[in-house]
Structure 1
Amino acid sequence: MPFKPSRPVFAAIAIVAVAAGLAAVYVTERGAVESGGGRCAVAAAKAATLKPLATGDLAALLPADVPADLSDLVLRTADGGERRLADFAGQTLVLNMWATWCVPCRTEMPHLQALQEKRGGPDFSVVALNVDVGGPDKPTRFLNDIGATSLVDLRDPEMRTFNDLKTRGLVLGLPTTFVVDRSGCALASLAGPAKWDSPAALALIDAAAKPDETQSGKP
């Protein structure tokens, strides 16, 4: 039985019109979570450390009790090539799902670009996953027009990834953003826009990207 949405923040979400005929999906109070846990169960401890940081501009962020495994996602590059989220192993990610027709997405994008400029590097990237149906020109033009050219630009032109995550109960509408650890486990999710370059957001990203003892080689 699905959980009910936990906050009224979803009123600000642009619901995907082309998916309106599909079955309803709910975001749980536990954030990006799937039953069973699997290999991402070990990431629950890191997710728990993010709960006190879900404040200010990120008050709607939902850290996961049992993080979902996103490493198996198959994405597309702007030129039609294939890339998997597992290719980013070793990097902490902010994975943002957006579309050019989504007004909150367009408002949020400059903040994601600013986050990439402030924190982007070998250990961290902002991945902008566009779900516009059709050719690549429109999202490319939009990103260029607003100067968001530092983001990892990936696409979901047939909405396969969006619908997969929707079926798994991990996404309701757009924008949706996941904080993903170095192994591809979703530590937290946020439905709706946020100022991802705010002090609250930077503190949370720094905490998420900090290696734990097993990653840093400590006993």
Structure 2
Amino acid sequence: MKKFGLALLYTATMALANPVVADVAAAQAAVAGDMKKLSFSEPQPVGDGVIVSFDGEQMNLSESNGKWRVVNFWATWCAPCRHEMPMLSQLQSDLGGEEFEVITIATSRNPPAKMKAFFDEIGVDNLPLHRDPKSYLARQIGVLGLPVTLILNPEGQEVARLTGDADWASDEAKAVIKALMSGS
């Protein structure tokens, strides 16, 4: 009877896990272009480091908001970040809504005034200006260079990571994100 119970538990666990595996498989199948740099992983925690909104409100990235999120770590002095940010803005315009959002986190010393000036200079007005002023969260989750972009599932867990800049407004990037979202 004990073996039957374990077999039933195993079968139930696999049945619940299969939709997630299918979503990742579909996303991996959609990988092309800049998205070839994207590495997928089993869902994993993103740490408990606090980030700060532009207005000074403290937030925890690991707290789920029920949306798929593309989370970009950047800095005002980062040239690839300057190149990539308008594409993240376009991704937010194209897919943002009840099921998806782009979040930006300036890590290290990035004064809010300089962050706002950076966004103004590159014409980005639809992305949030969050900060990780002491890089605590960035260090905790292994952000070793910039930019780094994570994809979080609706439970607030990292499922993919891309190091370096990428064309997040591309059809390839949207296909990956839509494939991940399709089973949730």
TM-score above 0.5: yes
C-alpha distance in 2, partners of 1:72/1:210? 28
Selected match of 1:63 from 8, 25, 40: 40
> Identity across aligned pairs (percent)?
34
Residue aligned with 2:129, SS? strand
RMSD between superposed Cα atoms in Å: 2.0
Taking CA–CA contacts closer than 8 Å with sequence separation of 6 or more, which of the two structures ends up with the larger relative contact order?
A: 2
- Which of residues 145, 154, 159 is equivalent to 2:130? 154
Name the TM-score, length of structure 2 as normaliser: 0.83
Q: Per-residue displacement from partner, 1:26-80 (whole Å, max 9, x unpaired)?
A: xxxxxxxxxxxxxxxx58623343221221121111111x222127342110122
Q: Check whether the contact 1:125–1:152 (CA below 8 A) recurs between aligned residues.
A: no
Give the residue type in structure 2 aligned to 1:165: I
The answer to whether the Cα contact below 8 Å between 1:62 and 1:188 also exists between their aligned partners in 2 is yes
Q: How many residues end up aligned between the 2 structures?
A: 167
- Runs of 4 or more above 4 Å deviation: none
2:183 — aligned with what? Answer: 211
Q: Deviations over 1:140-187 (max 9, x none)?
A: 111122221211221111111111112xxxx32110001111001111
* 1:128-143 equivalence runs, <5 A: 128-143=104-119
Q: How many angstroms apart in 2 are the aligned matches of 1:122 and 1:54?
A: 24
Counterpart in 1 of 2:159? Answer: 187
Q: Distance in 2 between matches of 1:50 and 1:148?
A: 27
Task: Tell me the amino acid that sits aligned with residue 192 of structure 1.
Answer: G
In the alignment, which of 89, 98, 102 is matched to residue 78 of structure 2?
A: 102
Tell me the residue number matched to 1:202.
Answer: 174
* Max Rg structure: 2
In terms of fraction of residues, the more helix-rich structure is 2
Amino acid at match of 1:52: A
Aligned to 2:53: 77
Question: How far apart, in 2, do the equivalents of 1:143 and 1:73 lie?
Answer: 24
**Conserved 8 A contact 2:75-2:110:** no
1:93 paired to 2:69: yes
> What is the DSSP-based 3-state SS (H/G/I as helix, E as strand, rest coil) of the residue aligned with 1:52?
helix
Letter aligned with residue 144 of structure 1: D
Asked if 1 retains the 8 angstrom alpha-carbon contact of 2:20 and 2:183, the reply is no
Whichever residue aligns with residue 83 of structure 1, its letter is M
Question: When the two structures are superposed, what TM-score results if normalisation uses the length of structure 1?
Answer: 0.70
